[in-house]
């Protein structure tokens, strides 16, 4: 096998720095997966770690807006938040996800407890 050209290696490094995976880089530059991994290992300190896991359905901006709307009182319950996210992002999100988003933004979701009734003595006083 002949070695990769310097231009190809530089292109691979640039793509790694943009956050692309080894498979994406290998496919876009028509090089083997092993070559892409080797290039990544050589220049490891300048390349950010790959992002693991499933990408989020809802953006950070939408989460902040959602929390702000709950704080101001525009949205009253979780179902309203669910409909709000669906109208903005266009994706169906579970109620549990809305709770997690609010918790991540520093809000808590709870049912307001009932206040005790006044007694006759308190009303007449």
Q: What is the pLDDT of residue 93?
A: 94
- Spatial distance between the Cα atoms of 40 and 34, rounded to a whole number of angstroms: 10
The DSSP code for 20 is -
Q: What is the pLDDT of residue 109?
A: 65
Determine, yes or no, domain membership for 67. Answer: yes
For the record, the structure tokens of 44 come out as 């490891």
User: At a CB cut-off of 8 Å and minimum separation 6, what does 120 contact?
Assistant: none
Asked whether residue 15 falls in the same domain as residue 42, the answer is: yes
Q: Judge if pTM exceeds 0.85.
A: no
Q: What is the pLDDT of residue 97?
A: 94
Q: What is the pLDDT of residue 111?
A: 79
Asked whether residue 64 falls in the same domain as residue 99, the answer is: yes
Number of domains in the chain: 2
Q: What is the pLDDT of residue 26?
A: 94
User: At a CB cut-off of 8 Å and minimum separation 6, what does 26 contact?
Assistant: 32, 33, 35, 36
- HSE, CB side, 13 Å, CA atoms: give it for residue 1: 7
Determine, yes or no, domain membership for 52. Answer: no
Asked whether residue 12 falls in the same domain as residue 36, the answer is: yes
Rounded to 10 deg, the angle between the 60-72 and 78-89 helix axes is 140
Task: Check the CA dihedral 86-92-95-97 and report its sign.
Answer: negative
Determine, yes or no, domain membership for 36. Answer: yes
Q: What is the pLDDT of residue 82?
A: 95
Asked whether residue 75 falls in the same domain as residue 40, the answer is: no
Q: What is the pLDDT of residue 113?
A: 87
Domain around 74: 60-104
pLDDT tens for each residue of the chain, 125 residues long: 688 899 999 999 999 999 898 999 999 999 999 999 999 999 888 888 877 888 889 999 999 999 999 999 999 989 999 999 999 999 999 999 999 999 999 987 677 888 888 888 888 87
């Amino acid at each position: 096998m002949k070695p990769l050209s310097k231009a190809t290696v530089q292109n691979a490094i640039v793509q790694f720095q943009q956050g692309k995976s080894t498979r994406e880089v290998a496919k876009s530059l028509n090089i083997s997966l092993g070559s892409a991994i080797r290039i990544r290992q050589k220049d490891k300190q300048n390349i950010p770690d790959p992002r693991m896991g499933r990408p989020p359905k809802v953006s950070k901006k939408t989460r902040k807006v959602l929390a702000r709307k709950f704080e101001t009182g525009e949205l009253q319950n979780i179902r309203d938040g669910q409909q709000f996210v669906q109208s903005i992002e266009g994706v169906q999100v579970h109620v549990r996800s809305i709770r997690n988003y609010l918790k991540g933004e520093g809000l808590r979701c709870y049912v307001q407890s009932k206040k005790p009734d006044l007694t006759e003595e308190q009303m007449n006083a």
